[in-house]
Structure 1
């Protein structure tokens, strides 16, 4: 039954996907390996970004700290929304759908749906959340999110439209939830005066 419901997304941008995977085959092996490693473990960098933002926010006002604390929650919510989309669409991975496709990474198994890209959603949700707390850090994270999304097509596990929609899901979730998180500043104020004070900091110090 799942096979009958599975969606073929190759008609959208399968040609571009084939072009990109062709470029990957013409690229030096070491560079493909670097991109492959980044694509698989690079999400850890966004966790480090959030950790750095928390460290800085201990000296920032409570609205900033609220947005920083909300950033991992925003990522989880975006991921859950994306999981629902995956379960509704059932798009077959391009490396399964397109014949004679040679990819940098082994193709995921049957039933591991392609649309939208989880990696793209997570990366852009994290970057968007951080953008509302620390603009410069957020833009740096956005750059790495774009590299993450591109890498998923490069190694052959996603169509371009998978990562494009993942980008949109991540950004929309990030914007909506980061705005709401800023309203929790009074709660952070109260927590800073309690047992969590050492973790949350005291906010900006008076000159």
Structure 2
């Protein structure tokens, strides 16, 4: 497939520069905290999906099916994003605009649009929310913070993360609804020893 070579600077390059200049003038401790969150914060979504699964144990087939499907759907969203990203081939803003950034600019060929982190965060927020509303609120806030952090450290344009969040969320939503059809499989699996461990269901004695 021939890359589209999208030029993102014309979309919101000025806004990106305003944010990176603001980050440059912000205390180092704040930038370090944002950078750490940006680099490692996706782990929180894994924890939230695990917590959603734990809370779904014994709470009915619908919630259990969704909790088991959640990580699979997030991975699928990531794979689709990688394909889209390779097709669009948008250069990182830190390479196009040559501004000072909190983190080092990714290597040439590590494309920018849409943001992998934002896609994963958007997808994870949806799958968690459709499994557990309480945890979903935490995931939604975390997803927005993740998206903002990617612009703050200088590795993405604002449109990269905005589209990434929407893309991940809109792709994950129908996939989660489709996963509901797997309820009979979970019901049958619940009758096995492994199924009891995974679903928290107790087989009849």
Q: CA deviation at 1:5?
A: 5.7
Would you say the 8 A contact 1:114–1:157 is kept in 2?
yes
Equivalents in 2 of 1:170, 1:5: separation in Å? 21
Normalized against structure 1, the TM-score is what? 0.93
- SS of the counterpart of 1:8? coil
Is 1:75–2:74 an aligned residue pair? yes
The residue that corresponds to 2:166 in the other structure is 168
The residue that corresponds to 2:24 in the other structure is 25
Is 1:49–2:48 an aligned residue pair? yes
Deviations 1:36-77 (A, max 9, x none): 000000000000001111111112101101101111111111
Q: CA deviation at 1:103?
A: 0.3
The residue that corresponds to 2:199 in the other structure is 200
Deviations 1:127-165 (A, max 9, x none): 101111111111210100000000000000000000011
The residue that corresponds to 2:60 in the other structure is 61
Count of matched residue pairs: 200
Would you say the 8 A contact 2:4–2:87 is kept in 1?
no
Q: Which runs of 5+ in 2 are unaligned?
A: none
Would you say the 8 A contact 1:63–1:184 is kept in 2?
no
Q: CA deviation at 1:89?
A: 0.6
Deviations 1:86-129 (A, max 9, x none): 11110000000003x01000000100000000000001101101
The residue that corresponds to 1:150 in the other structure is 148
Would you say the 8 A contact 1:63–1:183 is kept in 2?
no
- SS of the counterpart of 1:6? coil
The residue that corresponds to 2:83 in the other structure is 84
Please report the RMSD computed on the Cα atoms of aligned residues, expressed in angstroms: 1.4
Would you say the 8 A contact 1:57–1:65 is kept in 2?
yes
Equivalents in 1 of 2:131, 2:189: separation in Å? 19
Equivalents in 2 of 1:78, 1:43: separation in Å? 14
Normalized against structure 2, the TM-score is what? 0.94
Equivalents in 2 of 1:185, 1:5: separation in Å? 41
Q: Which moved more, 1:66-75 or 1:192-201?
A: 192-201
The residue that corresponds to 2:119 in the other structure is 121
Equivalents in 2 of 1:124, 1:168: separation in Å? 7
The residue that corresponds to 1:140 in the other structure is 138
Q: CA deviation at 1:195?
A: 2.5
Equivalents in 1 of 2:182, 2:4: separation in Å? 43
Would you say the 8 A contact 2:116–2:164 is kept in 1?
yes
